Each structure stands twice: as C-alpha cells, then as structure tokens.
Amino acid sequence: MPTPATSTAPRDARRIDGPGWSVVEGDAGSVLASLADGSFDLCYLDPPFGTGRTFASAAGGFDDRCSSAAEFGALIRPWIRQIHRVLAAHGSILLHADWRHSHRLRLWLEEVFGEAGFVNHLVWSYGLGGSSPRRFARKHDDILYFAKGPDYHFIPPRVPASSARMKGMLKKATDVLSIPAINNMAHERCGWPTQKPLALLRMLIEACCPPGGRVLDPCMGSGTTLVAAIETGRRAFGVDASPAALEIALTRLTAVESPLSAVG
C-alpha cells in the first residue's frame, strides 16, 4: 500500500480526520504540494470548468470565472504535476471536464503522464439540461482517464445489458456512462450547485481503485467522491477552499459508516 498522506499541511489549512477519511479546507495547489510522494491509488479531479460564471446556492458556491485558456492552464497544469507525484506507481487520475477545455486537458495530461498513460476518454451522458436552436443539445461531460504506469488497477464495471437477447444479464460497461444527473428532488441532493451523482463516483472508484486503497479529490465540493470511496471500502482525502463545501462534506461523511481505520 502507498505511504500515508500525513504530510505537513499548509499553516492556513484546516484539516479534520474521520474514520477512513480526511478533509482539508485550503488551497488545492498548496495542499497537494504538502502531500507525500506516491501516497494515493486514485485521484478524481473535478476542477472549475472555466464557465465564466459564479455558482451559488443556499448551501454555498464558488467562482468559476477564468478569463482565458491561458489563465485556466495556469491553474490546472501545476495541479496535474503534483497529482502525478502523489500517485503510486500503479495509480491513475480521472479528470472531469466539459466541452470548454477537455481537448486542452488531454494534452496537458499527456505532457505529464505521457501519451502511453492514456487509458480512456469517458463520456458521462446525463440527459438533463436545456436545448438550443443553434446547436445540438449538450448532454454530456468528459472524464479523461490516465495512468501513471502500465500496472494500473482496473476492474471492468458491469451494467445491465440493453439488448433483448441479454435481457436481465450484465455486461461490461463501455466508455459511455449513461448515469442520470441528480434531479432536484433526489434524496442525495445536498444543495451544492455542481454536485455529481454517487452512482457515477461509485462506478469509477470501484473500477479504478483497489479495495482498501486511497482516493484523492483536490476539489471535493460536497464530498461525493469521499462518500463513494468510504461506501465502497476505500479511504479518502478531500480538499476544498470553500468553508461551506467543507461543512457539507463533513455532514455527509459523518453519516457514513466505514470499516477502515482513520487516514494517516
């Protein structure tokens, strides 16, 4: 197993440890720089998308205004280098993006992980959202899957077959993940404006992180990645600069029972 991610946290970072998880309120870049080499099996990174908007709700929000691709790259590229460093030799990254920057992010990932590190370009097809009279409706996000080395962990997920011949059977999932977005009435909705569904994160973590392994989320938001990791028998470490995000994540995590010991 990788070494614990204890490290020396930045002085202005607030860290709370629980049974199998740790959360830190602080700057992602600073916290990543403080983590030990090779200490994680998987990183799921759902960074700001550079939408030019400020996301806000009663539960909290964040500023997602990047003025240019250069400004976006100045934020994300150092994170990718640090994530590569803190991943174990068999570790991998799942980088969540949309149409704005997914093409750039793949090139930036190749700069650090190498072209051979590419595993999949996943499409999360979520169905909800508006339409436009000027273009095809945008109904998916991209998840770029890169591995640090050839011995990365992967167990193919199984999903219900759709053909009449295989009715009631399971098949291996493809690179198009058809998982509905969280609707406004869903029990798991916590009010965070960009909250991702637990079903998506459970599938990704079970596929890409070994049981008992360590999952890192440097932009944890409402803590969905951490909850999914704990529920599937992994350990989790999350970071977010928003105090509101930290409180939401803490509320969710304290409601989840873990059979694993506390992180670091």
Residue 199: the pLDDT is 96
Q: Distance from first CA to last CA of the chain, Å, rounded?
A: 13
Residue 59: the pLDDT is 64
- Angstrom distance (rounded) from CA 108 to CA 51: 19
**Listed residue (248, 213, 157) closest to 44, CA to CA:** 213
Residue that the structure tokens 């997602």 belong to: 64
**Residue 4 — pLDDT band, cuts 50, 70, 90?**
very low
What are 144's strand-pairing partners? 95, 121
> What pLDDT digit, counting tens, does each position of 16-65 carry?
999 999 999 999 999 999 999 999 999 999 998 665 556 455 566 556 55
Task: Dihedral sign for Cα 124, 248, 8, 237, please.
Answer: negative
- Angstrom distance (rounded) from CA 2 to CA 23: 19
pLDDT over 70 at 214, yes or no: yes
Query: How does strand 53-57 pair with strand 158-160?
Result: unpaired
Task: Dihedral sign for Cα 248, 250, 255, 260, please.
Answer: positive
Residue 56: the pLDDT is 55
- Angstrom distance (rounded) from CA 152 to CA 127: 31
- Angstrom distance (rounded) from CA 18 to CA 263: 7
pLDDT over 80 at 153, yes or no: yes
pLDDT over 70 at 249, yes or no: yes
pLDDT over 70 at 223, yes or no: yes
Residue 127: the pLDDT is 82
**Residue 216 — pLDDT band, cuts 50, 70, 90?**
very high
**Residue 185 — pLDDT band, cuts 50, 70, 90?**
confident
Q: What are the domain boundaries of the chain? A: 14-253
Higher confidence at residue 264 or residue 37? Answer: 37
- Angstrom distance (rounded) from CA 233 to CA 249: 18
Are the C-beta atoms of residues 55 and 219 closer than 8 Å to each other? no
Orientation angle between helical segments 243-253 and 224-231, nearest 10 degrees: 20
pLDDT over 90 at 197, yes or no: yes
- Angstrom distance (rounded) from CA 39 to CA 122: 25
Three-state secondary structure readout of the chain: CCCCCCCCCCCCCEEEEECCEEEEECCHHHHHHHCCCCCEEEEEECCCCCCCEEEEECCEEEEECCCCHHHHHHHHHHHHHHHHHHEEEEEEEEEEECCCCHHHHHHHHHHHHCHHHEEEEEEEECCCCCCCCCCCCCCEEEEEEEECCCCCCCCCCEEECCCCCCCCCEEECCCEEECCCCCCCCCCCCCCCCCCCHHHHHHHHHHHCCCCCEEEECCCCCCHHHHHHHHCCCEEEEEECCHHHHHHHHHHHCCCCCCCCCCC
> What pLDDT digit, counting tens, does each position of 81-135 carry?
999 999 999 999 999 999 889 999 999 999 999 999 999 999 999 987 778 899 9
Top-level CATH class of 14-253?
alpha beta
pTM: 0.89
